[in-house]
Amino acid sequence: MTSICVVGLGYIGLPTAAVLARAGADVVGVDVSDRHVNAVNRGELPFVEAGLGEVVADAVARGRLRAQQETPRADVYIVAVPTPFKRGPSGDHEADLSYIEAAARGIAPQLVGDELVVLESTSPPGTTEHMAEVILTERPDLSVDGTAGRPVVHFAHCPERVLPGRIMTEMVSNSRVIGGLTPRAAELARDVYATFCEGELRLTDARTAEMAKLTENAFRDVNIAFANELSIICEKLDVNVWELIELANLHPRVNILQPGPGVGGHCIAVDPWFIVSAAPEQARLIHTARNVNDSKPAHVIQRVREAAADLASPTIAALGLAFKPDVDDLRESPALSITRELAAQLPEAKVLAVEPNITEPPEALNGAPNIAFVDYRTAIAAADVVVLLVDHREFKALDRNLLDGKRVVDTRGIWR
């Protein structure tokens, strides 16, 4: 039985550990957080993901999966830690590789040779090589390719591609790109993923695999930016952008995405920056798309301010805080930042924040005296201005009569 250590028990690492254990491996999950380690060892989830709970509970009960804070010895290591961006010395967006480096330093002392180390975290080009360098700096007695007769450690990149909310299905069915620092490393990684993945497993080099992942998310970002730019053009020209897109999409080779209040989440709003910072002069369209999407929240705020301009102390209902419909995830959410910013820019206004997928007001809204967290019926009834930020199912199904007499800013086009 292969022993596998998964470093990072988050949205990607824990499902990966669970499906590997289900496929027969002996899996140890490593995480710095007590909460995650303890939850997993009880067979419970530290976060919500459909269908994951049963698989974790079963794997733990059968002794195939356990969690701890120290990195153990294993045949295979899979690194699935966050790669957020940070501001570099010149103010640019740069990837923060410190979590990957810490994982690498935890793995290094355990190696004896012939192990496989796979990086799953979304990373800038060259990161798999960098991870190998961190390990080999700690362990100069080992090598990537047997140089000078030193035992080999195999390194590969296999970026995750699953959509939160559908992780358990997509982890099994999506095809994967696997890039090795050597062809042998890619083949060994394929053997591991083949134990649970029913999609195609395509082998390449590590740098191409890193770029493939970033390209997928940059492609989506650029296409959303096109829709967002159209929405601003259409406001100026007094054209209904939703109708326009529907009509243009009747063309067999046109498929425009939907405008919104901006792009959120921990992936699409982050990953294109890794391409921009790797090739700043060349990545012009990708950079502009990021700026277009990042400027959309300010545009929405301006529209709400105009809608409320003649009211001395307006009440504003802000519908939705999550980064996309029907989830409770607030990471990098434009809806959340718009709500907070409206309250800050309009101290005389009362902002009624609504998010049907969470029960407690999020911490990010604490400290703003003019924000209250209420249900949507209360918010709409009291509001002068209603700003729709997330197309949650509750808002789509809303009785439109409730909006009579309200000034409405609909950033998702659900009430057009």
C-alpha distances in Å from residue 341, one per residue of 76, 383, 411:
46, 18, 16
String marking each residue 220-259 x if it binds ligand SAJ according to CB under 6 A: x---x--------------------------------xx-
Minimum CB–partner distance for residue 396 and ligand SAJ (Å): 14
Closest to ligand SAJ by CB, 219 or 374: 219
Q: For residue 161, state whether it binds ligand SAJ (rule: CB under 6 A).
A: yes
Minimum CB–partner distance for residue 166 and ligand SAJ (Å): 9
Question: Which positions from 18 through 47 interact with ligand SAJ, judged by CB under 6 A?
Answer: none
The stretch among 22-30, 40-48, 213-221, 354-362 that binds ligand SAJ (CB under 6 A) is 213-221
Nearest to 325 by CA among 375, 374, 394: 394
The stretch among 20-28, 59-67, 202-210, 263-271 that binds ligand SAJ (CB under 6 A) is 263-271
Closest to ligand SAJ by CB, 2 or 174: 174
Closest to ligand SAJ by CB, 143 or 223: 223
Q: For residue 176, state whether it binds ligand SAJ (rule: CB under 6 A).
A: no
Asked if 372 contacts 365 with a C-beta cutoff of 8 angstroms, the reply is no
Per the DSSP assignment, residues forming a β-bridge with 208 are none
Nearest to 357 by CA among 317, 396, 322: 322
Contact with ligand SAJ (CB under 6 A): which of 71, 121, 127, 217?
Answer: 217
Annotated catalytic residue, options 5, 213, 296, 350: 213
Minimum CB–partner distance for residue 128 and ligand SAJ (Å): 17
Query: Which tokens sit at 179?
Result: 């890039």
Nearest to 168 by CA among 53, 76, 59: 53
**Chain position carrying tokens 């829709």:** 227
Closest to ligand SAJ by CB, 216 or 294: 216
Q: For residue 296, state whether it binds ligand SAJ (rule: CB under 6 A).
A: no
Q: For residue 106, state whether it binds ligand SAJ (rule: CB under 6 A).
A: no
The residue type at 374: V
Minimum CB–partner distance for residue 299 and ligand SAJ (Å): 13
Residue 33 exposed, middle or buried by CB count within 10 Å (0-12, 13-18, 19+): middle
Nearest to 339 by CA among 307, 366, 312, 377: 366
String marking each residue 304-343 x if it binds ligand SAJ according to CB under 6 A: -------------------xx-------------------
Tabulate helix, strand, coil % of the chain (nearest 5). 40, 15, 40
The site for ligand SAJ, by CB under 6 A, has a size of 20
Q: Is 158 a residue of the active site?
A: no
Q: For residue 267, state whether it binds ligand SAJ (rule: CB under 6 A).
A: yes
Contact with ligand SAJ (CB under 6 A): which of 8, 124, 264, 314?
Answer: 264
Q: For residue 121, state whether it binds ligand SAJ (rule: CB under 6 A).
A: no
Asked if 226 contacts 277 with a C-beta cutoff of 8 angstroms, the reply is no
Annotated catalytic residue, options 5, 158, 197, 267: 267
DSSP string, 207-264: HHHHHHHHHHHHHHHHHHHHHHHHHHHHHHHT--HHHHHHHHTTSTT-------S---
Q: How far apart are CA 315 and CA 312, in angstroms?
A: 10
Minimum CB–partner distance for residue 213 and ligand SAJ (Å): 7
Provide the CB-side half-sphere exposure for 327 (13 A, CA).
19
Query: Alpha helices, DSSP H only, in 34-91?
Result: 34-41, 52-61
Active site positions, annotated? 213, 267
> Which residues of this chain interact with ligand SAJ, rule CB under 6 A?
122, 160-164, 216-217, 220, 224, 257-258, 260, 263-265, 267-268, 323-324
